[in-house]
Structure 1
Amino acid sequence: MGSCGVDYLASVAAYPRPDEKLRTEKLETQGGGNCANALTAAARLGLSPALVTKIGGDGLGDGILTELHADGIDTQHVLRAPGHPSPFTYIIVDRQGGTRTCIHTPGAPLDPEEMGGGLLASALQGAALVYFDGRLTEAALLLAREARARGIPVLVEAERLRPGLEALLAEADFVVTSAHFPQDWTGEAHLADAVLATAERLPRAAWVITTLGTGGAVLLERPGAGDAAASAPERTLAEVLEGELRPALAAAAAAAGAGTVCVARTGQAIGGGHVASTSGPVRLRYSSSRDPAQAAAQAHAAGERAAALNADSGRGASYSGAGAGTGVAATATAAAVAPGVTAQVTLASIAQLPKEAVVDTTGAGDAFIGSVLYGICTGMRLPDIMRLAAVVAAAKCTQLGARPGLPARSQLTCELLGC
């Protein structure tokens, strides 16, 4: 459940300066929205996903549904808002700087009351997993809690600070975050400490994955019943990542051949990445330079910045979650008593793709999450899920926009898919 809309993508040679005019190199109109993109990736891998969202009753909305149907996504739970436009986003892709700039216009809000009338039960019928992209949080909370009551696992994406996201994350069995979310949410100065603090704030989550851009992705997986967690060695997360796992990835890359595991729609060959894990659970602790009070102040500032960027100034606390009872201040107090998390740590590299083959990173995170959805629903091992997700995200980056580059199942090797 989450966002769905239209993307207007303009590729330019270089990002314009203020008050400057320039011509686009390429202009495309495509379906967009984090949730819709992720479900498209999952559908092309072989799942049969259903989307719960709300779009306008306009022609854009008709086009959105047509595109989703073409990829095999069930849209019977997509609500329409007569007289309202569908959500859309302007995206400027800067070829020279390798950046993308997004300006989003939301559509009509989804009222929690609209989730009644049997929609909750109908949407969850036969579901193996429920995914939320962090938007439409009030209505999403109703669906998440109903899913939990029915024993259906919940995955929540934390791409950026959003109002109400803290409460939705508290319902999650699985969490995937962007590279910058942990530091914004927790205020921790060091990324490793921020990833650890994020997992600590989510005790219900069995695992948390944080994507790291060109640095790959890191997974913290809590031990299951019977795992030898009590005798786990104690180390900082930074020590584990930089002192053990990243050297192991480098050694694996040096020893492995350059095999192709995917051929992108452009014909570009993509090689699989590598995965390294600790031999078992590790008692992860924070770095000695950590300052909880400073982290709380930084998290508050990040919340205020997020609110301002969403034309919602003055409501920073609702973005940072500081007033939700499980916010930064409460976490800092708890951490002083029992700091850290015991977890097995896995680090995955990015897939092997020449830099010159990267056209656009828009939707790479959605491609990653769509692969995670596929992996969970088909019972893949977590390290294998991360390797698949890296390849699908790389394939996406070979074309402009979030969906054209998403690979079909036939473009991937059976070994990579776990079949």
Structure 2
Amino acid sequence: MFDLICLGHAALDRVYSIAAFPPEPTKLRATQAMEVGGGMAATAAVAAARLGGRVAFWGRVGDDAAGAAVRDGLVAEGIDVRGLRTCQGAVTSTSAVIVDAAGERMIVTHLGEGLDDDPAGLPWPMLAQARAVLVDVRWPAGSLALLRAARAAGVPGVLDVEMMAGAALAELLDATDHAVFSRPGLAEFAPGLPEPDGLAKARAAGAAVPGVTQGEHGYLWLDPAGRARRQPAFAVRAVDTTGAGDAFHGAYALGVARGLEVADCARQGAGAAALKCTRPGTRAGLPDGAALSAFLAERAAAV
């Protein structure tokens, strides 16, 4: 049995730490450099696996060194990669991540080339063993196919909505149960609207439980009655915010898989995101279940 099947973007991140972002283009010397697995759905899969979930990842990489590194990184986390397709002659997605001393980051992503778009060859029988699915917007054909199949099977779906979602977003929202937007993703979907109104638009498009991650302001979502609810962010000393949203998505989706209430999913996600920010790198700070439970208990006792 799988708690979660995650489908979408897998990448190799090259992370460079700098003292501060310059006011104009120039040359900078990095104080630290590392190469780690990245990608939205792939990092969310790692977040859920670290928390004790049994996780499978479905996605695409090229037959290159970056693709091999992506696969090896997921396998090392105990993630089932039977649905990770190696596309012959293709180029794996890579990202350059620049992080300043305050923990803020800038990301430049190449989404890869020649990656097979057809989801027909995915290991669909595995869906019968899943408690929930999580998809991102970087492989629309695969994400839509999995969300629709999950709904037909009575398996809840969670959609990670980032910028550049494209024309398929309307269909994806109609096919999902939970839609977790980034602030830029929601602004792109509902330009000019206040965030609660943007979430209402997402709900009208089909997502029963829409929400938006708001960084240091926490998580805002609409409950079944359409009322705005909020999970505050947990204050920590941020070293690197890269992957914080993915940490939230993985922990939130694992909560959905385990049948938690939305408020508890959001709290779990906020805790995982906060702990991730305390260490550099896309995945180094992702907590295990014991660390997250201790952190949440400590913060509850402090209230």
TM-score normalised per structure 1: 0.65
Tell me the residue number matched to 2:244: 364
The residue number in structure 2 matching 1:385 is 265
Look up the match of 1:347: 230
Distance 1:182 1:23 in 2: 34
Q: Does residue 1:43 correspond to 2:49, yes or no?
A: yes
Q: In 1, are the aligned partners of 2:91 and 2:114 still within 8 Å (CA)?
A: no
CA distance in 1: counterparts of 2:217 and 2:149, whole angstroms: 36
Matched with 2:223 is 221
**Contact kept? 1:183, 1:195, Cα under 8 Å:** no
The Cα shift of 1:70 comes to: 1.3
CA positional deviation for 1:172:
0.6
Q: Could you say which residue in structure 1 is the equivalent of 2:164?
A: 161
SS of the residue aligned with 1:24? coil
Distance 1:14 1:414 in 2: 33
3-state SS in 2 of match to 1:413 = helix
Q: Is the 8 A contact 1:5 1:32 kept in 2?
A: yes
SS at match of 2:33: strand
Equivalences for 1:392-407 in 2 at 5 Å?
Answer: 392-407=272-287
Q: Does 1:142 align with 2:25?
A: no
Instruction: Find the counterpart in structure 1 of residue 31 from structure 2.
Output: 25
Query: Residue type of the partner of 1:195?
Result: L
User: Cα 1:116–1:192, aligned 2, differ >3 Å: closer, same or farther?
Assistant: closer
Query: Could you tell me how far 1:54 is from its partner in structure 2?
Result: 0.6
Contact 1:216–1:350, Cα closer than 8 Å, also in 2: yes
Distance 1:177 1:61, change over 3 A: same
Give the AA of the match of 1:178.
Answer: S
User: How far 1:112 moved relative to its partner?
Assistant: 4.3
Match of 1:196 in 2: 200
The reply on whether 1:179 has 2:183 as its aligned counterpart is: yes
Q: Does the Cα contact within 8 Å between 1:55 and 1:108 map onto a contact in 2?
A: no
Q: Matched residues in 2 for 1:143 and 1:196: separation?
A: 24
| 2: CA distance, partners of 1:150 / 1:191 | 32
Q: Gapped runs of 5+ residues in structure 2?
A: 1-6, 298-303
Tell me how far apart the structure 1 counterparts of residues 77 and 60 of structure 2 sit (CA, whole Å): 19
Deviation at 1:363, TM superposition (A): 0.8
Structure 1 segments of 4+ aligned residues over 4 angstroms from their partners? 414-417
Mapped to 2, the partners of 1:401 and 1:183 lie a distance apart of 27
> Is 2:11 the partner of 1:9?
no
Q: CA deviation at 1:130?
A: 1.4
> What is the CA distance between 1:415 and its match in structure 2?
9.4
Q: 1:21 & 1:85 partners in 2: Cα distance?
A: 28
**1:411 equivalenced with 2:294 (yes/no):** no
**Superposition pairs for residues 97-176 of structure 1, below 5 Å?**
98-113=103-118, 115-117=119-121, 119-163=122-166, 164-176=168-180
Residue-by-residue CA offset, 1:355-406 (whole Å, 9 max, x unaligned): xx21111111100011111111112222122112111101100111220000
Partner of 1:79: 85
Cα separation, partners in 2 of 1:125 and 1:382, compared to 1, 3 Å: same
Structure 2 distance, partners of 1:375, 1:200, is 24
Distance across 2 between alignment mates of 1:112 and 1:93: 32
**Which residue identity is paired with 1:218?**
L
**Identity, % of aligned pairs?**
33
SS of corresponding position for 2:37: strand
1:76 and 1:152, CA in 2 relative to 1: closer, same or farther beyond 3 A? same
CA RMSD of aligned residues (A): 2.0
The number of residue pairs the alignment matches comes to 290
SS of residue matched to 2:69: helix
Query: CA offset at residue 150 of structure 1?
Result: 2.0
Per-residue deviation, residues 319-350 of structure 1 (Å, max 9, x unmatched): xxxxxxxxxxxxxxxxxxxxxxxx24321111
Normalising to structure 2: TM-score of the pair?
0.89
* Structure 2 counterpart of 1:348, one-letter code: Q
Q: State whether residues 90 and 115 of structure 2, in contact with CA within 8 Å, keep that contact through their aligned partners in structure 1.
A: no
Residues 3 and 184 of structure 1: is their aligned pair in 2 closer, same or farther, counting only changes over 3 Å? Answer: same
